[in-house]
Structure 1
């Protein structure tokens, strides 16, 4: 078995179940790669998972003023540290599609507690998808066997968020629109998924569209914060 990040061989004893049912063997990271990524632990903002906050952070307080009727709740797994920046660069910008499985175990664990929720990844524009060849959030969800539904489409091409500073990101216009599937979310619970939460602008824009279709609840999720 190879490490789902560095691709080096992992040598360990298989469990009895894994020997009998090889399909139960999950992709995992080697010890060295495990140590690179920092899981978010308390204290962290209860609203957006920003590390270091025991109560709602300043950013969330600003979003609450902007969207007073939206019960925002975001959860992330890892700190956006140097190791995660390197991973996202290799996966998203260099297009190393093998890395979609790097965090499959953690993603499966998180979504095992979200039975009955509709899961929607943040979409790419047609041009961006053609350039990259895959939607990074959709790919890591599929690698973790998480079913998704296309509730949004990106109608306007824009500069990548990574090319903008904080003020430019916050000032970004609405770029999303509904799909033919969006009517299905009335009275349903929905999770919006992106790779990284930076300012939250993308996820709030996405939720803004979905809220018009009267879901019971919307939550958001990212690998890193």
Structure 2
């Protein structure tokens, strides 16, 4: 029987590329769709009809997360992996331009609290899964010790908060058999600001290939939490 994964932020960019990678590996994939008007998931569904389930999902909304869980639970009684990829970015929080902090609240709600909502909602299905694997797409931006940015305070802060949330989840759930993957995708030409960035070192497909290898493989030391990047280097967080 094939493995099952739930992936958030799957409409485009890294999330969509991760969906494709797992489908090619034979996973049954439940892809969280935030933008129904964006057609790439629908196109992919035509190719992987029985393996891909498109689930409306806004990780920043309690009701949306609950509804997504109900849809997944109708199709399966267990999942092996939850990939928390959904995220938004922007320049909110310059110390001289605090009027953009409302957008900063949206970043926290999606980038950090969204992951907690998803774990909370999907624990019953993960508990019955074979792998019990929780994967989180973070960023070097959240690493305090190697901080080099000088603007856009809130996005890095939201990723630091995510890293702490993952650490706390690890302390509670790893002794119960859950395994964790904390991933920095590198400088990806992403859609996080609303349109695909021309700046970046990696195409989404390049980082997704590394991500899926990292997410799917078993590690020698599953009782240690580390953040790896797409070249499998360890980052402090």
TM-score by length of 2: 0.30
Judging by fraction of residues, say which structure has more helix.
2
- The higher radius of gyration belongs to 1
